[in-house]
């Protein structure tokens, strides 16, 4: 849907019209897809390609994406798809240097994630669904009322965002993310391009919630949902936030946030091309939190 937060380099100049593609038992006719001549950065990954699920306007050839063709060919009953992600995704360290805090992280997809084509899975979310209209039919872009750290609002007059399963963390406009990180007490590290937090010197209770207000409803990330705790040695740990900076602009040149997997593991997401809207609901595993090793946070 958007650029993956893993380093990929692709050379692609072949577009192929495939007479028949089978996905989850469904046979899709006449689908155009891109063939890759060269690819680097995918050797460690479990997947062999990328399935775009954004609007047709983003397609380089102008051809209809796979899901749109599924609906046009009446292979699915409803023009919606939905995602569920298990937050208990294994995190593997490729390399770590404690002294310089230089690290490389490889995130492996959970076996219990779920993509529903043509519907939703009511067993994977709780409570009501909050819907918000799509602003621009490119990415799945929508308006947010605000982003807040505790009671302090970052964009009180509203801001824009896209929901993107292809982004691992959460990215926002540089100026807004800088303000957010300052309120969290996080410091930017140029060599990791992440924001570091000294967890050992702070109480867990000193970290505020981060709140994304969408459709006038608060979607809350608690500290243990937005902090990455990485073991780097004998009872040694590093803490980073899931928020990164990037000045991404849409077709109207507006800056927008990218709500990636760090958000979508907590909130079930629904994409409705019939009514051009997105829906979010609290995941059934919203309260499933990472185990906190002894000594990571200051006791008291």
Distance CA(299)–CA(51), nearest Å, equals: 46
Domain 79-283: homologous superfamily in CATH: Acid Proteases (2.40.70.10)
Is the pLDDT confidence value at 67 over 80? Answer: yes
- pLDDT grade for 105, boundaries at 50, 70 and 90: very low
Inform me whether the pLDDT recorded for 177 exceeds 80: yes
- The DSSP result for 103-124, as a single string, is EEEEEPPPTT-EEEESS--GGG
Mean pLDDT value across the chain: 85
pLDDT digits (tens, 9 = 90+) for 107-151: 444 457 899 999 999 999 999 999 999 999 999 999 999 999 999
Task: Report residue 21's pLDDT band, with 50, 70 and 90 as the boundaries.
Answer: confident
Between CA 94 and CA 62 the distance in angstroms is: 39
- CA-to-CA distance for 146 and 112, rounded, in angstroms? 31
pLDDT of residue 14: 59
Q: How far apart are CA 166 and CA 131, in angstroms?
A: 21
For residue range 236-295, list pLDDT tens digits in order: 889 999 999 999 999 999 999 999 999 999 999 999 999 999 999 999 999 999 889 888
Helix (H, G, I), strand (E, B), or coil: what is residue 274?
Answer: coil
State the pLDDT confidence band at 221, using cuts at 50, 70 and 90.
very high
The C-alpha angle with vertex 272 and arms to 268 and 278, in degrees rounded to 5, equals 50
Cα separation of 69 and 77, whole Å? Answer: 13
Per the DSSP assignment, residues forming a β-bridge with 213 are: 146, 218
Buried b (16+ CB within 10 A) or exposed e, 232-262: eeeeebbbbbbbbbbebeeeeeebbbbbbbb
Answer yes or no: are the C-beta atoms of 128 and 135 closer than 8 Å: no
- pLDDT at 93 (0 to 100): 35
Give φ, ψ of 219 to 5 degrees. Answer: -110, 110
Read off the pLDDT of each residue in 188-213 and give the average, rounded to a whole number: 94
State the Cα–Cα distance between residues 245 and 228, nearest whole angstrom.
16
Q: Which tokens belong to 61? A: 């050839």
Looking up tokens 């906190």, which residue turns up?
292
Residue 104 has pLDDT above 70, yes or no: no
Place of tokens 């970052």: 154
Whether the per-residue pLDDT at 38 is higher than 80: the answer is: no
Highest mean pLDDT: which of 20-24, 85-89, 205-209, 289-293?
A: 205-209
CA distances for 161 relative to 19, 63, 141, 170, 299, angstroms: 36, 25, 6, 10, 37
Residue 103 has pLDDT above 90, yes or no: no
- Beta pairing, strands 159-163 & 141-144: antiparallel
Q: How confident is the model at residue 45 (pLDDT cuts 50, 70, 90)?
A: low
Domain residue spans in the chain? 79-283
Phi-psi region of 207 (alpha: psi -120 to 50; beta: other; left: phi over 0): beta
- Please state the rounded mean pLDDT for residues 153-174: 93
What are the residues whose beta carbons fall under 8 Å from the beta carbon of 141, sequence distance 6 or more? 134, 135, 160, 161, 162, 250, 256
Q: Which residues contact 195 (CB under 8 A, 6 or more apart)?
A: 181, 184, 186, 187, 188, 189, 240, 241, 243, 244
- pLDDT (0 to 100) of residue 97: 35
Residues 273, 274, 275, 278, CA torsion sign:
negative
Least confident span in 45-59, 149-163, 179-193: 45-59
């Amino acid at each position: 849907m958007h650029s993956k937060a893993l380093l990929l380099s692709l050379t692609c100049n072949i577009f192929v019209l495939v007479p028949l593609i089978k996905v989850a038992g469904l046979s899709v006719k006449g689908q155009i897809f891109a063939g890759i001549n060269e690819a680097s950065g995918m050797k460690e990954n479990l997947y062999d390609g990328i399935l775009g699920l954004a609007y047709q306007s983003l397609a380089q050839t102008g051809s209809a994406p796979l899901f749109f063709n599924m609906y046009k060919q009446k292979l699915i009953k409803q023009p919606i798809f939905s995602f569920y992600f298990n937050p208990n995704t294994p995190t593997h360290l490729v390399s770590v240097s404690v002294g310089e805090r230089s690290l490389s992280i490889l995130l492996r997809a959970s076996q219990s994630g779920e993509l529903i084509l043509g519907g939703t899975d009511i067993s994977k979310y709780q409570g009501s669904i909050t819907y918000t209209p799509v602003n621009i039919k490119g990415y799945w872009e929508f308006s947010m009322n605000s982003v807040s750290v505790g009671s302090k609002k970052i964009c009180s007059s509203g801001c824009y965002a896209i929901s993107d399963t292809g982004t691992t963390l959460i990215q926002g406009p540089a100026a807004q993310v800088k303000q957010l990180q300052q309120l969290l007490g996080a410091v930017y590290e140029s060599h990791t391009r992440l924001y570091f937090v000294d967890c050992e010197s702070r109480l867990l209770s000193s970290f505020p919630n981060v709140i994304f207000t969408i459709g006038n409803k608060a979607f809350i990330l608690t500290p243990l949902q937005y902090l990455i705790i990485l073991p780097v040695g004998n009872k040694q740990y590093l803490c980073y936030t899931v928020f990164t900076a990037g000045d991404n602009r849409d077709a109207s040149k507006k800056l927008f946030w990218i709500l990636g997997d760090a958000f979508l593991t907590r909130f079930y997401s629904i994409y409705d091309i019939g009514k051009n809207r997105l829906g979010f609901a609290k995941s059934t595993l919203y309260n499933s939190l990472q185990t906190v090793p002894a000594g990571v946070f200051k006791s008291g």
